[in-house]
Structure 1
């Protein structure tokens, strides 16, 4: 049986998301989108801290120059935690007021890849953007309903992204900050849940949070599912490697709309493999 631990804390997340392991701080950062909170776990002490954000907050990512950047509302903001401060860097152009940021990742060159979506999850009014040197570019012409899980393979050749509403993980060739033609990579079958947040391990295998299926699933480089780790909550939203040796997987979940003892909990898994240190945003 795969060991799964529930992280002890005094609250659960309405919609946990946006995980980031800070090598610099030896800490895990994540967000509660609907709870408008940024959270930090320091595994060495077990301390969990939480700060209230000015709006819904989709993700938080380390910044090469210090501190963090976060997706807040329909903007990218500079964030410091000790003490807490938040300053808008740029607002995504052309986004409807009914939209918000969702998930994001940085690449090796320090660019951000981020999705937007409607609050109501009721139609393809969202988009997939690139944010680099203070400017936004529409990265994919396709509309999105629930964009999730940007992840870049360990060799930097491909970017994976999904629209959870479609149940498909797409793969794009990635070269010089541009995305090539989008191709279906993994189509989720009945019973797999919906693909949500995702991350690569050091062996090039993909780990995917499976919303509605109470698990994370490991996929081989050819897209074949090879392992499933069950979790005691149904709405599994994101996963990331962390810990001093990057040999733990932290997993977020959501309490919104369910009556579950561990809905909205943060989980720690011993996966028996290691991940890679995440990239930082570079101004």
Structure 2
């Protein structure tokens, strides 16, 4: 293993690690094990890892700006979640009729809205959708027809966002109106076969896009116009997402999945040196 790649020590691995997010408020990295139904927390001060078991699949947690705790994608619902003790309360249920679906990935934007994708458990039909959760708690379905909705990414300054259908190996671009309306999605980056498939994503401070490569054993950076720029190899094939963390936002933590593979490092949380700085995550303003 490269000296630039470190496996975070902890007693278990994730079945489907996802949704890492840096919390400056708590000096920790939060991430989830979707299929393992767990929320994880890594303290950057002590290296301690804590976990909470959730009653259903958990796709992500996003910090709240105006209230304690988080907004979380639990099962098919937007929920308010607090820790110690773990308490979960439904805010919106936009997919209750899609019983074979679950939330998969989400990000907040600079208006304090949350953009979240859903997908079928079977990963084989386009029953997933794309949602916007406004600060007033209203959930709006903004697009439909996703098989594996993944990795919303919000660029510096806003104006557009990126979203992925991993099953189609394509990252899409939407123009975002001030009212949160979206243009039709247009292909932005079509993945080559030897890159794997695009999963979670985030922008860095230079406006470049970092993408986790499911099946590609790496994270890749793309220039603002979509050209491949860098690749960091990792000792697991199913790489799912990443976040910049630390006081300088110059540490990158990368999640992975053990589901369906027999690899020593599958499901680990990795720390890598990205060689650049990131952006602080936005919070939900509700």
Question: In structure 1, the residue corresponding to 2:176 is in which secondary structure?
Answer: strand
Residue pair 1:2, 1:229 contacting (<8 A) in 2 also: no
Residue pair 1:115, 1:128 contacting (<8 A) in 2 also: yes
Which residue is 2:283 aligned to? Answer: 280
Quick check: 1:223 aligned with 2:230?
no
Which residue is 2:244 aligned to? Answer: 241
Residue of structure 1 aligned with 2:253, choices 244, 250, 254: 250
Which residue is 1:6 aligned to? Answer: 7
TM-score when scaled to structure 2?
Answer: 0.96
Task: Flag the structure with higher strand content.
Answer: 1
Residue pair 2:16, 2:258 contacting (<8 A) in 1 also: yes
Residue pair 1:200, 1:276 contacting (<8 A) in 2 also: yes
Which residue is 2:54 aligned to? Answer: 53
Q: Residues 75, 94 of structure 1: CA spacing in aligned structure 2 closer, same or farther, 3 A cutoff? A: closer
Which residue is 1:208 aligned to? Answer: 211
Residue of structure 1 aligned with 2:267, choices 231, 249, 264: 264
Q: Give the whole-Å Cα distance in 1 for the aligned partners of 2:81 and 2:87.
A: 6
Deviations 1:24-47 (A, max 9, x none): 111100000000000000011001
Which residue is 1:174 aligned to? Answer: 176
Question: In structure 2, the residue corresponding to 1:191 is in which secondary structure?
Answer: helix
Q: Give the whole-Å Cα distance in 2 for the aligned partners of 1:215 and 1:279.
A: 25
Deviations 1:204-240 (A, max 9, x none): 0000000000000000001000100000000000111
Q: Give the whole-Å Cα distance in 2 for the aligned partners of 1:93 and 1:229.
A: 36
Deviation at 1:90? 1.5
Residue pair 2:77, 2:95 contacting (<8 A) in 1 also: no
Matches for 1:103-122 after TM superposition, within 5 Å: 103-122=105-124
Gaps of 5+ in 2: none
Quick check: 1:195 aligned with 2:211?
no
Residue pair 2:37, 2:55 contacting (<8 A) in 1 also: yes
Which residue is 1:21 aligned to? Answer: 22
Q: Give the whole-Å Cα distance in 1 for the aligned partners of 2:248 and 2:43.
A: 14
Deviation at 1:181? 2.6
Aligned residue pairs total: 282
Deviations 1:109-149 (A, max 9, x none): 11110011100101001100111121111112x40000000
Which residue is 1:165 aligned to? Answer: 167
Question: In structure 2, the residue corresponding to 1:213 is in which secondary structure?
Answer: coil
Deviations 1:247-279 (A, max 9, x none): 011100000011000000000111111101100
Residue pair 1:12, 1:265 contacting (<8 A) in 2 also: yes
Which residue is 1:32 aligned to? Answer: 33
Per mean C-alpha deviation after superposition, the further-off stretch among 174-183 and 266-275 is 174-183
Q: Residues 95, 224 of structure 1: CA spacing in aligned structure 2 closer, same or farther, 3 A cutoff? A: farther
Residue pair 2:39, 2:52 contacting (<8 A) in 1 also: yes
| Structure 1 outlier segments of 4+, above 6 Å | none
Deviation at 1:80? 1.2
Q: Residues 106, 13 of structure 1: CA spacing in aligned structure 2 closer, same or farther, 3 A cutoff? A: same
Q: Give the whole-Å Cα distance in 1 for the aligned partners of 2:97 and 2:131.
A: 11
Q: Give the whole-Å Cα distance in 2 for the aligned partners of 1:241 and 1:95.
A: 36
Deviation at 1:100? 0.4
